[in-house]
């Protein structure tokens, strides 16, 4: 009999042998429509933006969307350090300062700030998952996405032509008991602050209900839901929402682990909603990370690691399959949908790359 070990220590290596087709660069020039590159943090870490742009060229990438632009002076620093310093390579969204939310004074201040941020050059408005989980008004009441007191913010975004990229809830397992049935057991033990199970948090279902009531109530504003409609575990639900709300778009950021374990359903979903899905990663820009995303979207490879180099993949103990999307779908997902929503000029290099 072999050695005894704890289940948490079990990291079996697959012996399956199947064809592999690495994808060093995207077939269609691509835009990462969901990332976070706040310029203050970039400088603090000593990151080399010139090198990043060179790697983007190697990857056949047009640009990266920085969703952590902040507001006011912080936004201007991001625009100067990214968008203006590297024209048409970085696109920055603004954010909301929730301090004092719920009061008339806060609303006036927030609307004024949004107008100023749009005039300064923000390409959209990013709403983090704190709204619904941690943002509280002056009476210490949790503020949900569909709270009437912030409703005017969404209307103004629509009037300004700014898409609202909103993240509500998180993987369903984050809202379930952390027991032997939880498929994100490893991840939640590494990041216990991501566990939202308990009376101090709303349920996953309550957050999703509030999100889609918000989208329904503001049909003239384009919403981009982060992470596959904020419910990648249930593409049937996401499809029903996309059918119901023509102002609803979504990105695939940080969710190829979910999509890739249901490749038949995922491929059908991409084909049906090709005009409303955006490529995004929500991951630190690295060659291997992008190449894994390209492999997922462009090949029919089977059972590969969605996080190469990790013995225990970060999101769950499974592997993924590629969805081998046709060129016309790749073009929309990689580039055209982001260009349209963000008001970007069409790239002269938007066609299938030569592979050079």
pLDDT in tens, 133-167: 999 999 999 999 999 999 999 999 999 999 999 99
Helices (H), the chain: 39-44, 49-58, 73-78, 104-120, 130-133, 151-159, 185-190, 204-217, 226-229, 235-244, 256-259, 263-272, 287-298, 327-331, 337-342
pLDDT in tens, 275-331: 999 999 999 999 999 999 999 999 999 999 999 888 888 999 999 999 999 999 999
What's the sign of the alpha-carbon dihedral 313, 227, 211, 127?
Answer: positive
The closest of 250, 266, 260, 251 to 316, measured between CA atoms, is 260
Residue 352: the pLDDT is 41
Distance between CA 29 and CA 23 in Å, rounded?
13
CB 73 within 8 A of CB 97: no
What architecture (CATH level 2) is domain 16-342? Alpha-Beta Barrel (3.20)
Residue 345: the pLDDT is 77
Q: What DSSP element (H or E) covers 62?
A: strand 61-66
Distance between CA 270 and CA 277 in Å, rounded?
7
Distance between CA 60 and CA 69 in Å, rounded?
24
Q: Is 57 helix (H, G, I), strand (E, B) or coil?
A: helix
CB 287 within 8 A of CB 232: no
The closest of 328, 342, 257 to 292, measured between CA atoms, is 257
Distance between CA 300 and CA 153 in Å, rounded?
43
- pTM confidence score: 0.95
pLDDT in tens, 60-71: 999 999 999 999
Distance between CA 312 and CA 307 in Å, rounded?
9
Query: Can you give the residue ranges of every domain in the chain?
Result: 16-342
Q: pLDDT tens, position by position, for the chain (356 residues)?
A: 567 888 778 888 889 999 999 999 999 999 999 999 999 999 999 999 999 999 999 999 999 999 999 999 999 999 999 999 999 999 999 999 999 999 999 999 999 999 999 999 999 999 999 999 999 999 999 999 999 999 999 999 999 999 999 999 999 999 999 999 999 999 999 999 999 999 999 999 999 999 999 999 999 999 999 999 999 999 999 999 999 999 999 999 999 999 999 999 999 999 999 999 999 999 999 999 999 999 999 999 999 999 988 888 899 999 999 999 999 999 999 999 999 999 997 754 444 443 33
Distance between CA 289 and CA 293 in Å, rounded?
7
Which residues are within 8 A (CB) of 317 and not within 5 positions of it... i.e. 6 or more apart?
Answer: 183, 186
Longest dimension (CA), the chain: 71
Distance between CA 210 and CA 249 in Å, rounded?
17
Angle at 136 between CA 134 and CA 140, to 5 degrees: 120
Compute how many other C-beta atoms are within 10 angstroms of the C-beta atom of residue 67. Answer: 28
């Amino acid at each position: 009999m072999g050695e005894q070990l704890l289940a948490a220590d079990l990291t079996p290596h697959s012996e399956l042998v199947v064809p592999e087709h690495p994808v060093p660069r995207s077939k269609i020039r691509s835009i990462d429509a969901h990332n976070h590159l706040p310029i203050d943090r970039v400088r603090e870490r000593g990151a080399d933006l010139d090198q990043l742009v060179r790697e983007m060229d190697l990857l056949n990438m047009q640009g990266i969307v920085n969703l952590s632009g902040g507001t006011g002076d912080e936004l201007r620093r991001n625009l100067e350090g990214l968008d203006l310093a590297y024209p048409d390579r970085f696109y920055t969204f603004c954010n909301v300062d929730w301090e004092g939310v719920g009061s008339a004074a806060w609303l006036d201040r927030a609307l004024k700030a949004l107008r100023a941020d749009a005039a300064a050059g923000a390409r959209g408005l990013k709403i983090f998952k704190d709204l619904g989980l941690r943002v509280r008004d002056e009476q210490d009441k949790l503020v949900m996405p569909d709270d009437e007191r912030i409703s005017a913010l969404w209307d103004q975004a629509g009037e300004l032509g700014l898409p609202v990229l909103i993240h509500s809830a998180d993987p369903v397992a984050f809202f379930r008991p952390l027991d032997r049935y939880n498929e994100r057991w490893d991840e939640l033990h590494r990041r216990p602050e991501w566990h939202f199970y308990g009376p101090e948090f709303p349920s996953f279902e309550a957050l999703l209900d509030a999100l889609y009531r918000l989208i329904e109530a503001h049909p003239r504003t384009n919403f981009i839901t982060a992470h596959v409609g904020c419910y990648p575990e249930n593409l049937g639900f996401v499809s029903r929402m996309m059918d119901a709300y023509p102002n609803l778009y979504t990105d695939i950021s940080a969710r190829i682990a979910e999509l890739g374990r249901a490749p038949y359903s995922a491929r059908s979903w991409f084909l049906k909603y090709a005009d409303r899905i955006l490529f995004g990663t929500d991951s630190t820009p690295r060659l291997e990370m992008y190449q894994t995303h390209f492999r997922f979207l462009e090949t029919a490879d089977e059972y590969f690691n969605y996080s190469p180099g990790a013995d225990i993949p970060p999101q769950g103990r499974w592997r993924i399959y590629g969805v081998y999307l046709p060129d016309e779908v790749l073009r929309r997902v990689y580039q055209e949908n982001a260009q349209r929503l963000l008001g970007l000029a069409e790239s002269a290099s938007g066609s299938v790359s030569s592979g050079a």
